[in-house]
């Protein structure tokens, strides 16, 4: 395999679902904080920044998990696990991506720059959490939610109640979709000792996902109340509730890894629905 293809596979270039799930909460925050359309400069910075940080995050994940990945059927062909790339090559590529991300920060205000190292700490710490805690999806949510915190700070140069309620909504959302995603590897993870909420919840995965989904919807409803979003926003939340409810019903029975991945990808539409609701609901 040519090195260029191996590097593309390393950052999941041909599967950008993760980038979108990181980007949507950032866009929610950008548009809400701007009370309409943000500047083109901020929009481009956070779109490119989401791609760079998600790409950096999966490299850090693969570096930490390369020995585990060799034991999991779904991941054993990843470039580091299979030996297509060396850790040194991955580290060099990671340095380039983080360098570009740091460059983008220079176009943002001091508060955003001050808050940005937390994003790197969360992204770097997440891969190790699955060794020690049963809810690594919570840490993933903190990492993905921090993009929204940075976006709010970049627009308003302050953090307020809406910032943290949106952050909480994103954390709950990540627990929902990443628990579903983890179902794919549940048997392998149990065998090699990797922890996840899919394992923790067990036969009550539907309940764990349902409660997390209710937490997400509650936080998003509160965001709507704080920011006086209109009826269109409430209607989109009902649409989100229907999708989540459908997924919870399916999870009451055992589902295949392929079905779990299909449900995971449906969360792109949830992100789109919420963004659309914000755009239509703003005064």
- Sequential DSSP letters for 15-27: --HHHHHHHHHHH
What is the domain count for the chain? 1
Average pLDDT of the segment spanning 35-52: 96
Q: Give the tens place of pLDDT for each residue, 58-80.
A: 999 999 988 888 888 888 889 99
Neighbours of 148 (CB within 10 A): 27
Q: Give the tens place of pLDDT for each residue, 78-116.
A: 999 888 999 999 999 999 999 999 999 999 999 999 999
Domain of residue 245: give its range. 3-281
Could you say which DSSP state residue 159 is in?
Answer: -
* C-alpha pair distances (Å), 188 with each of 101, 265, 280: 34, 21, 44
CATH of the domain at 234: 1.10.357.140
Residue count (the chain):
283
């Amino acid at each position: 395999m040519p090195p260029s293809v191996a590097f593309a596979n390393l950052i999941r270039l041909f599967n950008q679902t993760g980038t979108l799930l990181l980007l949507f909460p950032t866009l929610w925050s950008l548009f809400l904080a701007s009370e309409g359309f943000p500047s083109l400069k901020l929009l481009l910075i956070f779109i490119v920044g989401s791609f760079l940080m998600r790409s950096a995050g999966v490299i850090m994940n693969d570096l930490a998990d390369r020995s585990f990945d060799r034991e999991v059927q779904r991941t054993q062909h990843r470039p580091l696990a299979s030996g297509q790339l060396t850790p040194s090559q991955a580290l060099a590529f990671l340095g380039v991506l983080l360098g570009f991300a740091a460059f983008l920060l220079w176009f943002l205000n001091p508060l955003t720059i001050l808050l940005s190292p937390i994003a790197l700490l969360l992204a770097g710490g997440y891969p190790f959490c699955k060794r020690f805690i049963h809810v690594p999806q919570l840490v993933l949510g903190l990492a993905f939610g921090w993009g929204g915190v940075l976006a709010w700070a970049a627009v308003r140069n302050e953090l307020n109640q809406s910032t943290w309620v949106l952050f909480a909504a994103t954390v709950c959302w990540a627990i929902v979709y990443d628990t579903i995603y983890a179902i794919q590897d549940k048997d392998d993870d149990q065998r090699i000792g990797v922890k996840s909420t899919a394992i923790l919840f067990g036969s009550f995965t539907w309940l764990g996902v349902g409660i997390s989904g209710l937490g997400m919807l509650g936080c998003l409803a509160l965001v709507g109340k704080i920011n006086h979003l209109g009826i269109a926003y409430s209607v989109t939340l009902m649409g989100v509730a229907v999708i989540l409810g459908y997924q919870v019903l399916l999870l009451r029975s055992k589902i295949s890894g392929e079905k779990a991945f299909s449900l995971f990808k449906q969360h792109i539409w949830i992100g789109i629905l919420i963004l659309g609701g914000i755009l239509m609901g703003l005064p």
